[in-house]
Structure formats: structure tokens, C-alpha cells
């Protein structure tokens, strides 16, 4: 049974409509990976089952490195992280995109406290930042890399171990567990977890601090904000933030202070008491900023 070196799927040369197809069974990559690598073509596949991935990770019993990113840090990601029974570390990738005024060590301590996690690292696989801290966890151990889809797992493995796993900006690039033998130990790249909200693909983080004026209503997606305190918004750089001077006749259903509101893309840090209006149930945590 030959597996694709890019996504881990079993290769087959019988049916082009099925996953794993390659015109020549001795090829290194399936046709899907070949098109992704050479033509940046996206071929959608059905979502994988998160519970099945967790079960296999726990059965392997290897030290586990869970990859996420700063704007996608939410309760659902943390729930998956805590379902892993192995020794583990939460690794927050893409720290090169963070605003330069953020104190990473301060963020780490706050994330540990807010989510009750023992071990947290910030890295950038793309820019090779802080990888020396991550390497200290390897120590010739058998390792599993996991995390939500598009979090940068395969890019990180390629950087650490000079492998050639398929990487792309698309979801579900890795389709099965990929086993890599390295010296006297084993590395696994697992398929990405599918979170109910689409994981972020972004090139930069926009960090905007606003001193609110009661005469203005600020709108971010479905959320409307009004007050006289300060907010800081962490979102991908392509997200629009609107403010409008208007008669403020809205009925607000939340008053928050020192909290983060989790968005589909990023979060809002509420420092002072601010009025919040939303037609959807808000996801709120104690702030990881203060």
C-alpha cells in the first residue's frame, strides 16, 4: 500500500474520480497534491471527523504539538486541545503577523490563565521565529503534529525536518496521518481539525485601538458598539470596520469590561465598560490582552 507523500492518502490508479488517484501508481504524489503544488488548484474534499482524529492521536500516545494561530484561538479549538490525553504543548503559529507592540510573554501568561493551559509557545514557521524553543520539546521523541486545518502544521514540519509535505492556503490539504521516520524516532502529521467557522487565511493582523465617542456607533460584522471607553480590534487586514454618527436609539444587551469578544475572524478587546448590541449570542472570554 503506497501513500501519497504530500497528503498521506493511499494512492490508486483505477478511478480518477476518487481520492488518491494518480495516473502512475509509482508516482510520489496523488493527482490532487500534484495540482495543488504545481498549479495552486483547489480540489475540495469532504470534512474529516474530528473525533476520529482525536482517537487516533490518543491511541498513538506520542508527545503532541497542537498548532493554532492567534486570531483563531477560541473555545472550540481549546476544547479539542484538551481532548488530547498525551503530553502536549499549544503552539500559536504566525506570530510574525502580530503587532510589534504586543508583549508575547505577557500574552502567553494570560492565555495560560484564561484557558487553564500549562504549556504555550508562540512561533512563526514561515519566518523561522522562536523555533529553537519548539525544538527543545523534540529531544528524539516520537511526535504528533495536529491542529485545525490551515494552521500551518505541514509548513512547520517541512521547516523542522526538511520534508516535502504538501502545503497550501486551502482546507484539508492533509487527508490522512503521514508517518515520517527521522533517525530513531517517528513523526506524524495528522489531518487538520475542522472548526465550525472557516479557519483564517490572512496576510497580516490589523490592530486598531479606538477611543469611542457616544455620538458614534461602531459596527464590526453583526456587532454594534457604543460608549466612551477604549476598544482594540484584532482582525485580518482585509476586514472593514465601520463607524457612523447617528441617533443612538439602539437597545444594547451587553455591558462589558476587560473582556474579549470572539469574532468569526479575530476578536475585540473591551477595556472599559462599553455597550454591545448583537443579534447573535456573543462568545466572550476574560481578556488575553489584560
Q: pLDDT tens digits for 265-274?
A: 789 998 877 8
Instruction: Record the pTM.
Output: 0.79
pLDDT at 55: 93
Residue 197: what pLDDT? 58
Q: What is the mean pLDDT of each run of 10 residues along the chain (290 residues)?
A: 82 86 88 80 72 92 92 89 95 84 90 94 87 82 86 81 68 75 84 69 76 82 81 83 68 75 87 81 87
Complete domains list, the chain, with CATH? 1-43 (no CATH), 46-189 (3.40.50.300), 205-286 (no CATH)
For residue 26, give Cα distances in angstroms to 18, 30, 179, 192: 17, 10, 18, 26
- CB neighbour list of residue 250: distance below 8 Å, 6 or more residues apart: 217, 224, 226, 277
DSSP class of 289: -
Q: Cβ–Cβ contacts within 10 Å for residue 189, how many?
A: 26
The distance of Cα 10 from the centroid of its chain, to the nearest Å, equals: 26
The strand pair at 259-262 and 267-270 is best described as antiparallel
Which element (helix H / strand E) includes 104? helix 104-115
Predicted confidence at residue 10, as pLDDT, reads 86
Tell me how crowded residue 37 is: count the other CB atoms within 10 A of its CB.
15
3-state SS, one letter per residue, for 26-92 = CCCCCHHHHHHHHHCCCCCCCCCCHHHHHHHHHHHCCEEEEEEEHHHCCHHHHHHHHHCCCCEEEEE
Strand partners for 268:
233, 261
Q: Residue 198 has what pLDDT?
A: 52
Beta strands in the chain (DSSP E): 63-69, 88-93, 120-122, 143-147, 178-182, 185-189, 205-211, 216-220, 223-226, 230-236, 242-245, 254-256, 259-262, 267-270, 274-277, 283-286
Amino acid at each position: 500500500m503506497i501513500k501519497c507523500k504530500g497528503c498521506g492518502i493511499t494512492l490508486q490508479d483505477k478511478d480518477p474520480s476518487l481520492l488518491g488517484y494518480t495516473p502512475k501508481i509509482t508516482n510520489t504524489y496523488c493527482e490532487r497534491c500534484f495540482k495543488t503544488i504545481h498549479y495552486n488548484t483547489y480540489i475540495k474534499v469532504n470534512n474529516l471527523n474530528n473525533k476520529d482524529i482525536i482517537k487516533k492521536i490518543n491511541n498513538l500516545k506520542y508527545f503532541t504539538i497542537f498548532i493554532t494561530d492567534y486570531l483563531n484561538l477560541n473555545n472550540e479549538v481549546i476544547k479539542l486541545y484538551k481532548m488530547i490525553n498525551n503530553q502536549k504543548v499549544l503552539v500559536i503559529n504566525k506570530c510574525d503577523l502580530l503587532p510589534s507592540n504586543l508583549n508575547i510573554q505577557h500574552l502567553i501568561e494570560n492565555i495560560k490563565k484564561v484557558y487553564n493551559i500549562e504549556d504555550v509557545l508562540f512561533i512563526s514557521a514561515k519566518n523561522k521565529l522562536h523555533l529553537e524553543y519548539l525544538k527543545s520539546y523534540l529531544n528524539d521523541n516520537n511526535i504528533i503534529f495536529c491542529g485545525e486545518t490551515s494552521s500551518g502544521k505541514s509548513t512547520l514540519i517541512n521547516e523542522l525536518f526538511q520534508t516535502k509535505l504538501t502545503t497550501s492556503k486551502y482546507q484539508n490539504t492533509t487527508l490522512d496521518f503521514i508517518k515520517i521516520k527521522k533517525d530513531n524516532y517517528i513523526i506524524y502529521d495528522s489531518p487538520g481539525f475542522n472548526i465550525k467557522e472557516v479557519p483564517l487565511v490572512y496576510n497580516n493582523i490589523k490592530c486598531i485601538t479606538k477611543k469611542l465617542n457616544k455620538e458614534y456607533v461602531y459596527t464590526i460584522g453583526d456587532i454594534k458598539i457604543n460608549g466612551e471607553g477604549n476598544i482594540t480590534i484584532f482582525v485580518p487586514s482585509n476586514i472593514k470596520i465601520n463607524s457612523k454618527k447617528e441617533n443612538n436609539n439602539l437597545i444594547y444587551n451587553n455591558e462589558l469590561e476587560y473582556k474579549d469578544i470572539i469574532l468569526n475572524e479575530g476578536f475585540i478587546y473591551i477595556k472599559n465598560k462599553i455597550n454591545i448590541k448583537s443579534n447573535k449570542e456573543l462568545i466572550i472570554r476574560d481578556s488575553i490582552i489584560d
